[in-house]
Amino acid sequence: MLFRSGTSQTVKVVTYENLTLSGTTPTMAVTNVSGNFVTSGTVSVTTGANLAVGGNLTVSNGTTLTTGANFTLSVTGTTDASGNLALSNTGTKSFTGLVTISSTGNVTSASTGGLTFTGGLTINSSGQFSDAGGSTIAFANNFTNNSGSTINTGTGAVNFTVSSNVAGNSATTFGGNVTITGTINVTNTNSATVTITGALNGTVSGSIWIQGANSDTVILQTATAPFATNGRFDGTTNTPNTVEYNVGGTQTIEGTPSTYWHLMLGGTGAKTANTAFTVNGNFTIGGTASFNGGTSLTQTFLGNWIVSTGVGSSPYTYTTGGTINFNTPASPASTGISGSSS
């Protein structure tokens, strides 16, 4: 069914097999489109009821689809956002198929209801995504940012519920807590920087964050140690990669399991080890940060120390005792200690 008019129309409330809206600003309280739902032309429409789309959703360039009041939106097929998809107010929004934001697309969430991307979310070059509402986001597939700019998921929690990739070529910031749910792997294959502002945790011991080969950096910006409750980092399956602790204040360095590739400390304050660990690659202390080796722990460094901190005192301290091992394997690598601080 096609509705097209230069003036406002009221869309009859029935179940549509396929529905296309074109024109200006129709009024719509439709609850069920069993097939495909398309906005085209210059139409701007706000849903007036809970809406379920059984096929694909297409928000064409130049159009706007807004969820009204406290209404839910569910899409079984794929979603192509080439126009503006505004997820407003409360009410859950769930997308079973892949959601693709094109170069002209903009998906905004001012909703406090949950967002679920079962088929994943891909943001193409110049596409935009934001979550100012702070809603909880669930990913059951890959989250790919190729937008060319930093995408921030907002302050709401992000939950990964199946093994997925954090992929793409553009910086991504998780502004809230990130939880890996169950015995699954979340692999960072993003070639730019991934920043986690909240706590990174798992629900079971098999919840694993894996750094991908040649992935740039994952930056941890919370005082809480990652995987403080359950789960762990894997920085050795794919190499090289970098983990950076960088916050304006003290942080705890997670050492379970005990191996990093490149490890960087930045921001300010002491970064304190809670267990023994090994750094296979380079260990860098920058900003005005310092490294506290913890309580009676042994830390092993197989690569270079690069100390360029402006902390103004010794960049290395320990709480009670402490051992630093350089080049302990049978065939030691070359280790250099360099930088601008002593």
pLDDT at res. 310: 76
Q: Give the model's pLDDT for residue 48.
A: 94
Question: What is the block-wise mean pLDDT of the chain (342 residues), using blocks of 10 residues?
Answer: 59 92 82 97 94 98 93 97 94 97 96 92 97 93 97 95 97 97 97 95 95 86 90 90 94 83 93 91 91 90 85 75 72 50 48
Q: Which residues contact 328 (CB under 8 A, 6 or more apart)?
A: 300, 302
pLDDT at position 330: 47
Here the tokens at position 43 are: 């139409």
Residue 223's Cα: distance from chain center in Å?
18
**Order of all β-strands in the sheet with 57-59:** 2-5, 19-23, 37-41, 57-59, 79-81, 99-101, 121-123, 143-145, 164-168, 185-188, 208-211, 232-234
Tell me if the bond preceding 26 is cis, omega within 30° of 0: no
Measured CA to CA in angstroms, residue 81 lies from 42, 62, 329 at distances of 14, 11, 53
Residues 320, 223: Cα–Cα separation, whole Å: 21
Q: What are the distances in angstroms from CA 159 to CA 38, 87, 139, 141, 220?
A: 30, 19, 6, 11, 17
Backbone angles phi, psi at 88, to 5 degrees: -110, 165
- Cα dist from 265 to 96, 120, 226, 311, 342, whole Å: 39, 32, 14, 12, 15
- Sequence-distant (6+) residues with CB within 8 A of 139 are 117, 120, 121, 158, 159, 160, 161, 164
Quote the pLDDT of residue 7: 56
CA atoms lying within 13 Å on the CB side of residue 327: 9
Size of the chain, expressed as the number of residues it contains: 342
pLDDT value for 21: 93
Distances (CA, A) of 90 to 99, 112, 157, 213: 20, 5, 16, 39
